[in-house]
Amino acid sequence: MSLTEYLYVDERRLESYFEQISSPLHYDQSPNWKFSLNLAGPSVETTLSKQGRQFTRHEKIMALIRHLEKNDLMEIYRPADEERRRTDKVFRLETCRAIRVHIAPEGETEFPGFGLWISYSPHPKHQNPKVSNYQAGALYLLEDFRDTDPPHPTTYSAYTALNLFCDVVGSEYSVENSTMFSSHPDKFFAALGAKIGKQRLIRTMYRIRATCNDTDGQQFGAVVTIGYPLFIAEG
């Protein structure tokens, strides 16, 4: 059995979702042995007792995945144009290659900084079959971002990835850099002083926050997705 290396877990969202599908304690059955000696000889009696314990983080994640799969509430590919406006499946589970960007706090301002994972394109085994004009494109995963979880993703048309990102995180960057952001967001953030990690294979489950059709000056572009990861693990 392989071991999972978790790179990030949103404990707050995980707890919020898990408490909706399970009791807080897991009960293990353990045998109790009773030995006795009488005129007929030695005897052994066995009874089972239940001992309650807290679920581990890994157990909570696996239970949530099973619940979403069992109730058909999750897909294994990121949104494409044909289904991004109508889907009720706001949870996605996929494997992809991604780069982690750490945006540091800004001086004395209230901006706390945050971690961001960027995946330029889906893994071949997670290609969305519902594609017409706009295929599934880049994915941005915001670590520990404290905002509401809307029942349906916010959708934009004829937008840019930079505008979408700014709307979600509440920041302002020059629109003149939107082309650079769409093609090389890691270089865009590096120019702003962010710390850029190496690309690595990850497995992640995330909740879709917003999508847009990013044309970047072309007739047909790709659907950009911003999501809140429940977990990110070594792929």
Query: Is 160 inside any structural domain?
Result: yes
Supply the pLDDT for residue 48: 56
Containing domain of residue 221, as a range?
78-234
Query: Is 67 inside any structural domain?
Result: no
Whether the predicted pLDDT of 135 surpasses 70: yes
Query: Is 198 inside any structural domain?
Result: yes
Dump pLDDT digits (tens) for 145-204.
777 777 778 888 778 888 888 888 877 766 667 777 888 888 888 988 899 999 999 999
* Total-model pTM: 0.81
Dump pLDDT digits (tens) for 21-52.
987 665 566 666 666 666 666 766 666 556 66
Average pLDDT over the chain, rounded to whole? Answer: 83
Whether the predicted pLDDT of 139 surpasses 70: yes
Query: Is 39 inside any structural domain?
Result: no
Query: Is 65 inside any structural domain?
Result: no
**Least confidently predicted of 9-13, 25-29, 64-68, 118-122:** 25-29
Query: Is 16 inside any structural domain?
Result: no
Dump pLDDT digits (tens) for 7-16.
999 999 999 9
Domain count, the chain: 1
**To the nearest whole percent, how much of the chain has pLDDT over 70?**
80
Write the CB contacts of 183 (distance below 8 Å, at least 6 apart in sequence).
216
Query: Is 139 inside any structural domain?
Result: yes
Query: Is 207 inside any structural domain?
Result: yes
